Amino acid sequence: MQSQTAATDTVPRTRRYYRAEVLIVLGLSLGQSAVYAIVNLLEKMTRAPLGSQTTALNPVLNERELFDLLYQLLAIFFALVPVALVLFLLTAPGERAREAFRKIGFTFCRPGVDFGLGFGLALLIGAGTLGVYAGGRALGITTAIVPAALDEYWWTVPVLVLSALRHSVLEEVVVVGYLFNRLAKLGWGTWTIIFTSAVIRGSYHLYQGIGPGIGNFLMGLVFGYAYTRTKRVMPLVIAHAVLDIAGFVGYALFGSAIGIGE
């Protein structure tokens, strides 16, 4: 019985298997988010002009402080389950779990490169994001975005930081590290993979309006190219985390004072 199990575990996985695996993973994570975002965009566009509407990120989940905190932490925890799933799937039979982290460069073995490139990408994307947001608002294709809609509690800033880390790890590990690995096994070309990953990234941000969809598509092209050059997802996680922490925490602390999101 043990020999039969071992033989089954070593059977080569076919392209048909990888196609099904990718569809299932996306259906459980960011692909599902993309579908909901597209439907949400259509609903907003048929309700009123996008420019007159507001999208709140990190909203209150319960009016009672303790339960709001619990729901926030649970949402962050369960959002990371797909990350555990793809790392499990990237671990070949007989390999140790850490091999999956190594395959996509989700390690701290090169801190100088990771943080240097990460902060550089954050500056580049951050400047571009502000420009795309301003342009989208001027054209009326982007909703007013409130990056942090939580009430003011002692745990607000820590939860916003955890939320930023949640988004950065989930998106970069799944839509870059995992997806690039699997689409390459399907025989896709490098630029086709980069473009597909960027389209997915842009689509699950469409609930914020057409502008953010375009902006995140462009971000996906830059991040995808950076990944093909370094084979490391960690710089992308760092860059994404820096951007989101700056946006979420910055708005929570100073947004109302300087008019961000109006």
Exposure string for 182-219, b = 16+ CB within 10 A, e = fewer: bbebeebeeeebbbbbbebbbbbbbbbbbbbbbbbbbb
Specify which residues 55 forms β-bridges with: 145
Residue 48 has pLDDT above 90, yes or no: yes
Residue 61 has pLDDT above 80, yes or no: yes
CA-to-CA distance for 217 and 222, rounded, in angstroms? 9
Which residue, among 73, 58, 85, 117, has the nearest Cα to 240 in the 3D structure? 117
Residue 84 has pLDDT above 70, yes or no: yes
pLDDT value of position 97? 83
CA-to-CA distance for 257 and 64, rounded, in angstroms? 26
Residue 256 has pLDDT above 70, yes or no: no
Residue 6 has pLDDT above 80, yes or no: no
The alpha carbon of residue 36 and the mean position of all alpha carbons in its chain are separated, in whole angstroms, by 15
